[in-house]
Structure formats: structure tokens, C-alpha cells
Amino acid sequence: IAGYRDVLATIHKSHDYIPPTPNTILQLHRDLFRYTGLAFGGHFKDSDNVIIERDATGKQIIRFTPPNALITPELVERACATYTEAIQDGHIDPLLATAMFTFDFTCIHPFNDGNGRMSRLLTLLLLYRNGYQVGKYISIEHLIERTKDTYYEALAASTYGWNDNVNDYAPFVNYLLGVILTACKEFDERIGELSGCGSNRKPTKEQRIGNLFERTLSPLSKADILQQLPDISASTVERTLKTLLDNGTITKLGAGRGTRYVKNR
């Protein structure tokens, strides 16, 4: 946690002076593990690894097998060079280039540990370097954690065929762009609440429930809503959900205890 804090502070303060190069990535990884005493901090992986997901029961599922450790330095070098070239040419939108670089970095999985944290730190770094500052005010890390099921689904969809260079980047790119858009909406909403949106009226409880769906990518259960809005009663949540269903704002998924709701986008 202390190492993550330090790297985050470095990115916040000095992002314009931190280019996405292999040496920079190694230095950030070294600082991430500075207080752990682990020898692999600041070094690429020395053995092959896999991307693992844990399901609700705690069972481990192998999502993807990254490339061999021996070619990791070359792949990281190539990813950094391709990203830099794309940004300098100006033919690819920086957000798309950022999302694709983040995905390639995740697939390369270049470290023995800390790959997920590094991918999110690098995402933040590249967003800052391209003028997207919302991560200073809304935690991108928290939004990804909040939608981790959708994250893993998008990751799995885009990794299929990656080792053979025939994968589809769209699922992961769309997911990450959705996270960034959600961060912007959440920031806008917080500013609106602080300023009163031009008036002294606070949003109603029904509006707050609706706003929760606006800034959330993954389906929500009634329990999720009650947890995030603890001052709102269960009866108000149920009434609002029925209204949102009736007017087509949300869609109901599942039944019984497994019922969840997702915004129609």
C-alpha cells in the first residue's frame, strides 16, 4: 500500500516527465515493491505465469496464458514503441491508444506480481499525459474494482486469439472507455451537488438511485443499492426500481435472490 501510494503520488506530480518506456515501467514497479523486501521488484518476470480469476466460491480459473518470460522484454519494448508512434502520428485517438496499450500490457503480464496494479497505474499515467485529469478526483482503480466481473468478461473476450495476433480489442476498449466515461459523469455529478446545479435543491432519493445506474457499468441488485445508499429505505428502492423498469430506463436480469438490474444504454 505504501509503495502504491508513492507511485501514485509520483504520477500525479510528474506525469509529463514520465514517458511510457520499459525503463520507466521497471522503475515504477521497483517503487511499487520498495517496502516489501521482495527481490523481483523492478525486474521482469523470470518464469512463466498465468492470468487467474477467482469465482464467487473462491475457485481459481485460468483466464489467459501470457507469452514466455524470455520474450517479455522484447514485447514490452514493442508495445511502448507502438504506443509512442501512434501518439506522435496523431492518427489514433489517445483514449483508444491508451486502452489498447493497457490491454497489451495486461496480456504480456510482464512481472511476477503486481501486473494488475501496474496496468491501472499506467492507465492513469497515459490519461494524464493526454490531458484527461479526471483520475485526480475520481478513482479509476475503484471503478474497475466496482465492475470487476465486467472487467474480467471484457478481458476474456479480447484475449481470445491475442497470442496469434487475431484478437478483437473492442470488448476491452469499450469497457475501459466506459469506466472513463463513468468517472467523468461521477465527477460532474459531484460538482453539480456541490454547486447545487444552479439551485439550492438537493437530488431526490429517486434521482440518486437513478444516478447510481448512470455511473455504474455492472448490474446492481437491490442489496447493492441499499449498501451504496444506506440512508434510503428498502421500500423506496423497490418503488424506484419499478418506476425505472416501467419507463424502460433499466432492465431486470435473473429472478429471486439473483435478481439484478442494469441500465439500458
Work out the number of other CB atoms within 10 angstroms of the CB of residue 217.
Answer: 21
The CATH class given to the 2-188 domain equals: mainly alpha
Amino acid at 125: L
**Residue extents of the structural domains in the chain:** 2-188, 203-263
Set of cell numbers at residue 105: 500490457
**Right CATH number for 203-263 from 1.10.645.10, 1.10.3720.10, 3.40.50.2020, 1.10.10.10?**
1.10.10.10
Range with the poorest average pLDDT among 31-45, 82-96, 136-150, 182-196: 182-196
H or E stretch covering 61: strand 60-64
Q: Which pLDDT does position 124 carry in this prediction?
A: 96
Residue 108 to residue 25: CA distance in whole angstroms: 13
Confidence of residue 13 (pLDDT cuts 50, 70, 90): very high
Residue pLDDT, tens place only, 42-98? 999 999 988 887 777 878 888 788 999 999 999 999 999 999 999 999 889 999 999
Q: Return the DSSP state at 179.
A: H
